[in-house]
Amino acid sequence: MLQLVFPNEYFKPVDFENLKVFCIIQDDAELSTIKKAMKRIRKNTCVRFRKRKSEADYLDIQNEKGKGCATVVGRQPGKNVLWLEASDRATCMIDRIVQHELLHVVGLEHEHNRYDRDNYIKIHLKNVLPGKEPQFNLLSRRKTTAYNIPYDYNSLMHYTKTAFAQEGKITVEALDPNYMNVIGTRTKPSPNDYKKVCNMFKCSVCKRKVKRTTKVNGVIWRPKSKSEPEPSLNEACTDDVNFCRALEQMGVLYCNFDYIRKSCCATCNAVISGDGAVFMRPKMISGSVTEVTAE
């Protein structure tokens, strides 16, 4: 229900040095639209976008014809590409689309992919354009959390009722009919979109309101949720195979894959939860490539 790999929200302190997203912009076309979207996130969360100097992990915003509007969810090590096409074929340079994509960069998945979505919407897969079915996959309950934030028909991260639909069909049906013409029409992030980001990074200020916090050794932490306790973690983590270091040295240790993370737990710098699940520490957030419909 957040839409992020589980442990990040438990380990990441509200340390502004760690909440900067360093980026480079390859094309100055519609630069004002991108900056406006970044500014909106800055004003309502503790996430900051900064121009990249030599940082190893960074966001590369590119305008490439045919790429559409797409990025990975969360932060991967190294270069993370955000495609925002602005060509004679199509454009992503619309406020709501740029904001949508930047929220993916920060760590939010689509609202209609939440693991509890079947209580609120019905997906008509038979009406989906061939090949676009993965856009409606259900997120894993083990790897995502809600932060006790209810399903949000008004989320900017929600698809429209006709997203990737065959002509004359609908793909997303709101079980509450009052929201059928609401889903996917938001032009800016909803309050709950911002709350997810703030809870994810334990922001001391959210929507310009100060939250109750605790300061330890100069670092601010958000109090634990009483209704959603933190998982117990075992810091002792070992590799199950003997070639993990070699893979790391060759640059092919892909810790965002479950089976690699489990086999090379120590080398991936992962942690084990009380139920035996293996998660990455906050610097490695796994995600999948997403595509935005501009409907």
Residues annotated as catalytic (active site), given as ranges: 101
Helices vs strands, H then E, count in the chain? 6, 15
For 196, other C-beta atoms within 10 Å of its C-beta total: 30
100 among the known binding-site residues? yes
> Residue type for 187, please?
T
Beta strands per DSSP E along the chain: 20-25, 48-51, 58-62, 69-72, 79-84, 121-123, 172-174, 205-206, 209-210, 214-216, 219-221, 233-234, 270-273, 278-280, 289-291
CB 14 within 8 A of CB 46: yes
The set of residues, in sequence order, having a beta carbon less than 8 Å from that of 88 and lying 6+ positions away, is: none
Structure tokens at 289: 């490539």
Strands 278-280 and 270-273: antiparallel
Question: DSSP secondary-structure letter at 12?
Answer: -
Q: Answer yes or no: is 110 a known binding residue.
A: yes
Task: Extract the annotated binding site for Zn(2+).
Answer: 100, 104, 110
